[in-house]
Structures are given as structure tokens and as C-alpha cells.
């Protein structure tokens, strides 16, 4: 997940960058509004971590410009200014969030995930592969005219697989998806869910790659 970090304090920027990378994000770093605009214009980001105080202007202006242009990209604001936080506090937009310095890295990534998830719910893009269509906002799927229902865990696994169809997803990564990269399970829970999914999707839809993980099968020509 690519995340744009807009932060001019070098120490902070480095910390954020390393921290977010450890959490599975792919951070990209810019240090001023101008560079940020340029990067955003290229697209491909899932979210922005934005400092308020920047050398060439306020992050608020950057954000306002973004919104005025109709861009709904999730934005996490970093602010050292308590009064600003107070002014805005509690009135923050549903899609965005604010964090006052100093902050803890765990919280940054947690909130990032939260706002990204929300934004995805808004977009409600259909995921599709090999005759299966998934609707994340409904946690349901459709295959050959039949509607498929999934439990939360089942859906998480399937979604992780269908986001990169055909690509192998390591079992560890799937576990992360389910349990949030903090505590793993000590059992074959993932396998169980895969098994249930196979029951619903038919054998052969999910392939096993021994010793590595799972992937969705390529369509039969």
C-alpha cells in the first residue's frame, strides 16, 4: 500500500518512513507542498500523511486544494499545534483523522489503516476474477448467478487473494490480514478458512503452493 508522507522534519520523516515500512506500507517521502502536489498528481497512493507546517506553506492549503479538486484520498494530519487540534478537534471529517505530536508509530499505522479501510468502503470497487465477483461493501460475492455469503474471516482471506489474482500470497501474510500483524495464531486457522472457501467456490479455485502460501488459479482457457 503506497502512502505519501509529507514532512519536512528529517528525523520525524525518517522515523515515519521506517515505521510504516515495517507495518507493511510502502511509504514515499516528500518535504514540501510543491513536491507533494507533483507526487499526488501521479496517483497510485492509498493515503497521505500530512504535516501541517511545511516550508512552502501549510498542509491545510494543500489538503484544501486536493478536496476542491474532488480528490477524496484519505489524509492523516500531523499537527504539533495543540490549538489547531482543538479548533478542529471533534469536527474532523469522517474520512480523515488528526494526530498530535508526539505520536506513537503504532497509532499512526492503526489510524492509517482505519481511514484507508473507510475510503475503500466508500469506493466499493468490485473485485473480479475468473467468474467470481466480490463486493467488499457487502461482504458478498457472486458466481455463475449464485450469490455467495462469507463470514468475516473467510472474506478477509478471499479478498487478500483476489486483490492480486494469480499471485502467491504467503500464509504469513494472510495471517497478518486476519489478526493484524501483532498476534498470530498457533494453529492452522488459515488452512481451515481456505478449506471453507473451497467448499463455497469449488475445488480448484484456490491453489496451494506448498511451503509458501495460496493463490487463485488462472482461468482455464
Partner DNA sequence: GAGGCGCGATGCGGGTTCTGATCGTGGAAG
Partner DNA sequence: CTTCCACGATCAGAACCCGCATCGCGCCTC
Give the binding site for its own copies (CB under 8 A).
11, 14-16, 18-19, 21-24, 26, 60, 63-64, 66-70, 87-96, 102, 104-107, 109-110, 121, 124, 137-139, 151-152, 164, 166-168, 176, 180-182, 209-212, 215
Least Å distance between CB 89 and DNA?
Answer: 11
R_g of the chain computed on alpha carbons: 20
Touching DNA, residues 123-152 (CB under 7 A): 149, 151-152
3 within 8 A of 14, measured Cβ to Cβ: no
DSSP H or E stretch at residue 14: helix 10-22
Touching DNA, residues 83-122 (CB under 7 A): 85
Touching DNA, residues 40-79 (CB under 7 A): none
Q: Binding partner of residue 57 among its own copies, DNA, none, CB under 5 to 8 Å per kind? A: none
| DSSP bridge pairs for 140 | 135, 149
Is residue 194 at the binding interface for DNA, with CB under 7 A as the rule? yes
For 140, other C-beta atoms within 10 Å of its C-beta total 14
| Coil vs helix vs strand at 193 | helix
Q: Binding partner of residue 67 among its own copies, DNA, none, CB under 5 to 8 Å per kind? A: its own copies
Least Å distance between CB 131 and its own copies?
Answer: 20
| DSSP bridge pairs for 97 | 76
Exposed e or buried b per residue across 21-58, where buried means at least 16 C-beta atoms within 10 angstroms of its C-beta: eebebebbbbbbbeebeebbeeeebbbbbbbbbbeeee
Kindly list the residues in this chain that would bind DNA in the complex (CB under 7 A): 82, 85, 149, 151-154, 171, 178-179, 185-189, 191-195, 198, 203, 208, 210-213
Amino acid at each position: 500500500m503506497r502512502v505519501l508522507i509529507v514532512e519536512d522534519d528529517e528525523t520525524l520523516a525518517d522515523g515515519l518512513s521506517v515505521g510504516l515500512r515495517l507495518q507493511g506500507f510502502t511509504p514515499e517521502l516528500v518535504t514540501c507542498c510543491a513536491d507533494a502536489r507533483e507526487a499526488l498528481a501521479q496517483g497510485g497512493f492509498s493515503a497521505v500523511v500530512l504535516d501541517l507546517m511545511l516550508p512552502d506553506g501549510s498542509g491545510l492549503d494543500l489538503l484544501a486544494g486536493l478536496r476542491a479538486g474532488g480528490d477524496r484520498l484519505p489524509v492523516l494530519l500531523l499537527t504539533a499545534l495543540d490549538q489547531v487540534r482543538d479548533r478542529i478537534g471533534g469536527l474532523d471529517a469522517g474520512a480523515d483523522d488528526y494526530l498530535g505530536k508526539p505520536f506513537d508509530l503504532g497509532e499512526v499505522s492503526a489510524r492509517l489503516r482505519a481511514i484507508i479501510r473507510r475510503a475503500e468502503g466508500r469506493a466499493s470497487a468490485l473485485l473480479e476474477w475468473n467468474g467470481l465477483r466480490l463486493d467488499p461493501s457487502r461482504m458478498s460475492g457472486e458466481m455463475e448467478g449464485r450469490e455467495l455469503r462469507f463470514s468475516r474471516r473467510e472474506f478477509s482471506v478471499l479478498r487478500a487473494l483476489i486483490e492480486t489474482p494469480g499471485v502467491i500470497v504467503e500464509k504469513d501474510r494472510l495471517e497478518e490480514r486476519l489478526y493484524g500483524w501483532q498476534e498470530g495464531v498457533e494453529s492452522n486457522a488459515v488452512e481451515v478458512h481456505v478449506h471453507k472457501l473451497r467448499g463455497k467456490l469449488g475445488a480448484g479455485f484456490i491453489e496451494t503452493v506448498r511451503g509458501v502460501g495460496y493463490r487463485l488459479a488462472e482461468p482455464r482457457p
